[in-house]
Amino acid sequence: MTRPGQPATARTAAAGAGPEEKASLRDVVAAYVGLTKPRVIELLLLTTVPVMFYAARGIPPLGLVVATVVGGTLSAGSASVFNCVYDRDIDEQMRRTRRRALPRHIVSPRSALVFGLVLGVVSTVVLAVWVNWLSATLSVLANAFYVFVYTMVLKRRTAQNIVWGGLAGCFPALIGWTAVTGSLAWTPVVLFLVVFFWTPPHTWALALRYREDYRQVDVPMLPVILPAQRVAVQIVAYSVVMVATSLLLWPVADTSWFYPLAAGVLGAVFLYEAVALYRRARGTEDLALIRPMRLFHSSNLYLSLLFVAVALDPLIGG
């Protein structure tokens, strides 16, 4: 059965997919790990653990951190596996993703589905038993949104796919807070919004680099339907709102002097990179001149250091 928006070339490739490729045990284990998208998990955990430090106003209990990290890792891995299963037809056509386990037929779709389901169930049990039910519920909601709303509905239908689909990646800030406090508050909501406004510049920079891949498989990422300069304008706009939102944490959470200083410096650097991307994109579609991956890598560093500042604030500022 084909999926809405599935291109003819991808349908043919998917229909002709063979059985699992013979591979060594090491290759198979690596393939299953790859399905969980470990680099994405790393970024999600970087927005979970620091919030736990801030919620505890110091160092949270080690056992709680371990349980939250394990549960969060398995949960994010589960969502990524389901995403890989659903997107295997377009992954097979794109240069960036064609070496994943499913396009290479090292793992079958059925095996991957079972793997994703097991990860999801175990993650929910870990979070519910060793953390709390609120964190477990938020984790399940994030996964459901990512799989059913972003992957299955938004991604192939609208250029705003990553704007609203990115909501799923914002939940770790809420989960880290509720793991410690057992309740929600405005502080994690502000951090939730920081990640929300960070996601479009981060993803559109990557999509600029691979826009021909997305165009080939009919996925309407913004850089596919708009010139690079107009994409850069939106990147700058979201970046400004993101930095302003990050500074809002200072009065909302009553942080010390350290956080606003760090957020201000990091925000200034990020805005410089966003504006530099816009200047490079003016009047050209040449990716060698635009260099979108510079902003992509800068965005990863920005978010990581910002949340490290969140964790350090109660330790440094007292």
DSSP 207-222: HHHTHHHHHHTT---H
- CATH of 25-157 given 2.40.50.100, 1.10.357.140, 1.10.167.10, 3.30.565.10: 1.10.357.140
Residue, of 24 and 259, whose pLDDT is higher: 259
Sign of the CA dihedral with 97 first, then 103, 106, and 108 last: positive
Q: Residues 159, 222: contact at Cβ < 8 Å? A: yes
pLDDT of residue 9: 41
pLDDT of residue 96: 85
Residue 219 has pLDDT above 70, yes or no: yes
pLDDT of residue 318: 64
Interacting residues of 83 by C-beta distance below 8 A, sequence separation 6+: 37, 146, 147, 151
Q: What is the pLDDT of residues 271-313, one digit of tens each?
A: 999 999 999 999 899 999 999 999 999 999 999 999 999 999 9
pLDDT of residue 19: 44
Q: Give the Cα separation of 186 and 316 in Å (integer).
A: 22
Q: What is the pLDDT of residues 19-55, one digit of tens each?
A: 444 677 888 899 999 999 998 888 888 999 999 999 9
Residue 15 has pLDDT above 90, yes or no: no
Q: What is the mean pLDDT of residues 250-273?
A: 97
Interacting residues of 15 by C-beta distance below 8 A, sequence separation 6+: none
This prediction's pTM:
0.90
pLDDT of residue 191: 97
pLDDT of residue 14: 40
Q: What is the mean pLDDT of residues 130-155?
A: 96
Interacting residues of 16 by C-beta distance below 8 A, sequence separation 6+: none
Residue 8 has pLDDT above 70, yes or no: no
Q: Residues 247, 285: contact at Cβ < 8 Å? A: no
3-state DSSP assignment of residue 96: coil
pLDDT of residue 22: 64
Residue, of 23 and 249, whose pLDDT is higher: 249
Summary mean pLDDT of the chain: 91
Q: What is the mean pLDDT of residues 107-121?
A: 96
Instruction: State how far the alpha carbon of 5 is from the alpha carbons of 10, 227, 277, 293, in Å.
Output: 10, 22, 31, 28
Q: Give the Cα separation of 150 and 65 in Å (integer).
A: 29
Residue 221 has pLDDT above 60, yes or no: yes
Q: Residues 15, 42: contact at Cβ < 8 Å? A: no
